[in-house]
Structure 1
Amino acid sequence: MYMSKSYDICMRDDGILVFTITRPDKRNAVNFEVMAGLNEAIQLANETKVKAFVITGEGEEAFCSGGDLGEFHQLKTEEQAYQMLIKMGELLYQLAMLSKPTVALINGIAIGGGCEIAAACDIRIARKGIKAGFVQGKLAITTGWGGGTILLERVQHSAAMKMLLEAKIYSFQQLIDLGFVQYIYEGDRWEGLRNNLDFIFSLEDTVLTAYKMMFVRKMRLLDLKERIESEIRQCALLWEKDAHHKQVDKFLNKKMTDQ
Structure 2
Amino acid sequence: MSYTIEKRDKGYLLFTITRNEKRNAINYDVMNGIGAAIKRASEDDSKALIITGEGDQAFCSGGDLSVFHLLHTKEEAYSMLSKMAAILYSLLTLPIPTIALINGSSIGGGCELAAACDFRLARNGIKAGFVQGKQAITTGWGGGAILAEKLPAANAMKMLMDAELQTAEELKASGFIDNLFEKDALKSCEAYLEKILAKDLRVLKSYKRIWTRKWEESKLRERIEEEVRNCALLWESDAHHDYVNRFMNKD
* TM-score bucket of the superposed structures, by smaller chain: over 0.9
Indicate how the Cα distance of structure 1 residues 155 and 129 shifts in structure 2: closer, same or farther if over 3 A, else same: same
Residues 1:162 and 2:158 are matched in the alignment = yes
Deviation track 1:112-159 (CA, whole Å, cap 9, x = no partner) reads 000000000000011111110000000000000001100011111111
1:20 pairs, out of 16, 20, 23, with 16
- The residue correspondences of 1:24-63 to structure 2 (distance < 5 A) are 24-63=20-59
Please identify runs of 4+ aligned residues in structure 1 that moved more than 2 A. 251-254
Provide the TM-score with structure 1 as the length reference. 0.95
Residues 1:123 and 2:119 are matched in the alignment = yes
Residues 1:228 and 2:224 are matched in the alignment = yes
Provide the TM-score with structure 2 as the length reference. 0.98
Shifted more, 245-254 versus 24-33: the winner is: 245-254
* Alpha-carbon distance in structure 1 between the residues aligned to 2:11 and 2:194: 13
* Alpha-carbon distance in structure 1 between the residues aligned to 2:130 and 2:101: 17
Fraction of identical pairs, as percent: 55
Aligned to 1:112: 108
* Alpha-carbon distance in structure 1 between the residues aligned to 2:198 and 2:27: 36
Alpha-carbon offset, residue 48 of structure 1:
4.4
Alpha-carbon offset, residue 194 of structure 1:
1.4
- Gaps in structure 1 of 5+ consecutive residues: none
- Determine helix, strand or coil for the equivalent of 1:28: coil
* Alpha-carbon distance in structure 2 between the residues aligned to 1:153 and 1:170: 20
Aligned to 1:68: 64
2:176 pairs, out of 180, 190, 200, with 180
Alpha-carbon offset, residue 253 of structure 1:
2.3
Residues 1:101 and 2:101 are matched in the alignment = no
Amino acid at match of 2:205: T
* Alpha-carbon distance in structure 1 between the residues aligned to 2:59 and 2:236: 28
Aligned to 2:78: 82
- Determine helix, strand or coil for the equivalent of 2:14: strand
- Determine helix, strand or coil for the equivalent of 1:180: coil
* Alpha-carbon distance in structure 2 between the residues aligned to 1:48 and 1:26: 31
Amino acid at match of 1:136: Q
Residues 1:171 and 2:156 are matched in the alignment = no
Count how many residue pairs are aligned between Structure 1 and Structure 2.
Answer: 251
Residues 1:201 and 2:197 are matched in the alignment = yes
- Gaps in structure 2 of 5+ consecutive residues: none
- How large is the RMSD of aligned CA atoms in angstroms? 0.8
Deviation track 1:37-78 (CA, whole Å, cap 9, x = no partner) reads 111110001024110011000000000000000100100000
